[in-house]
Amino acid sequence: MKDVKLHIDAPDGVREIPLQDEVSIGRTPESSVVIADSGLSRRNTTIFRDGDDVLVVDERSTNGTFLNGEKLDDRPRVLHDGDSIRLGSSTTIRIETGEGRTAAAAASTPVPEPPKSVEPQATPTYTAPPPTAASGPNTTTFLLIGAVAFTLLIVAGAGAALLFSRQTSTSGTNANAGLPTPKIDTARRIPVRVIDPLGDQNEDDLDDLIASWETAEKEVDASTISDVTVGADDAAESDLNVPASLLADRQKKALEPRDAETGIRPAGLDVPKELFGDGVIKQKAKLREMKKDGYHQPLDFPDLAEKRLNKELIEMPMAAESYYLDVGGSASDGPFQSFAFPNVHADLVPGSPKMLAIGRLADNFAGHKYDINNPADRKQMRVRLLRMFNPRAKPILLELAAAYYKQFNRPLRVTSLTRSMDYQIGLNATNVNSFKVRDENALPPHTSGCAFDLARKHMTAAEQNFVMKKLAEMEDAKKLDALIEYGQNACFHVFIYFDGIAPNM
């Protein structure tokens, strides 16, 4: 059996491991190789031997497995020497089988010229000789026919084994019909991939929740945002008086071109250990406390309105010198509705608690009056309701923004504050990795009021490293829990403690 080595380059270091039979890779002890990469699923990818072949299969992970840049489906794929596997947020695995060295050695060894009397070697493609009147069946012909027949039997047997395997694991459907597949030894254990009602995700696992609920909104268009003016009797909320022109100015400043590389993984990115995720056990613990204390997630915009009226959540000004809120870009202008699980949307009933909450807020939204029968007003109300979070989050965000602005003279781009469940579900409607929350007892972080994100793809490595260092310092001071998110909506995910008390870990 040939030696196979896996060269793993991950956030928690570089390592090399031999492949004896099978290894599973993920972020929890469910996997035989555990990697501190927040983008990995609990059991993300499996690499295994099948005779002389080495194969890889994605275990229906949230962020996928990529072989030489191609995203894998749930079919095993044969690996070759030098292949590169990318998974999670920033983990790569290089395959070493020795094939390359063997081929190179064979190529460098001179092959002696065969004697004239020896027939030339057969080419890979067989070409039958033209028939002659004197020719007839001979030994060579029978051997060729036998070889072809034997090959066809092998192919048919492999196809039957594959069909049986797929029928027993995918409810009778053969997703691989007509597609080339590696040979499968039915006597060995093939990693089982189960399609469950939650999309192979765990509603109690915050890593899955964060990874699949980080669906980005449309970028906010400042020209569609109205100025905010508050009444004279609302001095406590006077900082909400912000013109949309300031939002546009801060947006332009934040996104202006840089003179260095930007992106998800710019050269020089240095992620501190505090932002690896480590199973985000602190966030899980605090969310459990919130649920135990009776916090109810906002299912719809009327629920958000109720939380604002009760000052359970506070509104953040849309922009200031040191930051701007890129939220509400996907807000609609349709009539307000209620939402209930599993997927029940209903018009608000006059006199119902939800209609009364929306009506009260519309009559006096920090001194501003909105008409809930006006589509433009309904959209502005939704945008403002999406600018809310826990009161304890405000000083933390302002501290981060002030430090970043002082260092780089640019505002932070803040995304994803508190979202209602129906708004989030709408964003995830076309996301195949969407987390299927079954009931209102679930508590995703962005419905808790305790989370906000800082966009980073537009930043240089120096900017991102500065923000991460600040976040790590604040996490060490027990002010928050933070982690770096990769993927399409690359950001720094920040979670504050609803009661100001860090969990005892």
pLDDT (0 to 100) of residue 37: 85
CA distance 201 to 199: 5
b/e sequence 71-81, b meaning 16+ C-beta within 10 Å: ebebbbbebeb
Question: Is pLDDT above 60 for 210?
Answer: no
pLDDT (0 to 100) of residue 280: 74
Q: Are 473 and 407 in contact (CB under 8 A)?
A: no
Q: Residue ranges of the domains in the chain?
A: 5-99, 206-496
Question: Is pLDDT above 60 for 338?
Answer: yes
Q: Are 411 and 315 in contact (CB under 8 A)?
A: no
Using the structure block, give the residue that is written with the tokens 């609609």: 332
∠ Cα 234 237 242 (to 5°): 115
CA distance 186 to 472: 49
CA distance 188 to 30: 20
Question: Is pLDDT above 50 for 206?
Answer: no
> Average pLDDT of the chain?
79
Please list the residues that pair with 344 across neighbouring strands. 340
CA distance 405 to 198: 41
Query: Is the CATH code 3.40.50.2300 the one for domain 5-99?
Result: no
Residue 316, judged by CB atoms within 10 A of its CB (0-12, 13-18, 19+), counts as: buried
Token couple for 61: 């992970």
CA distance 420 to 387: 11
Question: Is pLDDT above 60 for 335?
Answer: yes
Give long-range contacts, CB 8 A cutoff, 24+ apart: 302-305. 302/336, 302/338, 302/348, 302/353, 302/354, 302/355, 302/357, 302/358, 303/354, 303/357, 303/420, 304/385, 304/386, 304/388, 304/418, 304/420, 305/357, 305/358, 305/360, 305/361, 305/381, 305/385
Which helix (H) or strand (E) covers residue 8, if one does? strand 5-10
Q: How confident is the model at residue 215 (pLDDT cuts 50, 70, 90)?
A: low
Using the structure block, give the residue that is written with the tokens 């067989």: 126
Q: Are 388 and 417 in contact (CB under 8 A)?
A: yes
What number is the average pLDDT over the span 217-244? 87
Question: Is pLDDT above 90 for 269?
Answer: yes
Question: Is pLDDT above 60 for 387?
Answer: yes
What number is the average pLDDT over the span 264-291? 86
pLDDT (0 to 100) of residue 443: 67
pLDDT (0 to 100) of residue 320: 98
* CB neighbours of residue 462 within 10 Å: 15
Report the largest interatomic distance among the alpha carbons of the chain, rounded to a whole angstrom.
Answer: 112
Question: Is pLDDT above 50 for 24?
Answer: yes
Concatenated DSSP letters of 216-246: PPPPP-GGGPPPB---TT-GGGGGG-B-HHH
- Higher confidence at residue 2 or residue 122? 2
Token couple for 184: 């499968």
CA 18 to chain centre: 29
Q: How confident is the model at residue 181 (pLDDT cuts 50, 70, 90)?
A: very low
DSSP classification of residue 149:
H
User: Which of 35-39, 126-130, 466-470 bottoms out in mean pLDDT, i.e. has the lowest?
Assistant: 126-130
- Higher confidence at residue 296 or residue 480? 480
Task: Measure Cα distances from 335 to 217, 288, 344, 446 in Å.
Answer: 20, 34, 15, 23
Strands 451-455 and 5-10: unpaired
CA distance 453 to 485: 9
pLDDT (0 to 100) of residue 428: 64
Q: Which of 52-66, 193-207, 314-328, 473-487 has the highest mean pLDDT?
A: 314-328
Name the phi and psi angles at 500, rounded to 5: 80, 10
Q: How confident is the model at residue 73 (pLDDT cuts 50, 70, 90)?
A: confident
Question: Is pLDDT above 70 for 39?
Answer: yes
Q: How confident is the model at residue 112 (pLDDT cuts 50, 70, 90)?
A: very low
Task: Measure Cα distances from 145 to 152, 176, 266 in Å.
Answer: 11, 29, 58
pLDDT (0 to 100) of residue 81: 93
Q: Are 395 and 474 in contact (CB under 8 A)?
A: no
Q: What percent of the chain has pLDDT over 90?
A: 50
| Residues in Cβ contact with 71 at an 8 Å cutoff, skipping those fewer than 6 apart | 64, 65
- Higher confidence at residue 370 or residue 175? 370
Question: Is pLDDT above 50 for 345?
Answer: yes
pLDDT (0 to 100) of residue 446: 83
pLDDT (0 to 100) of residue 106: 44
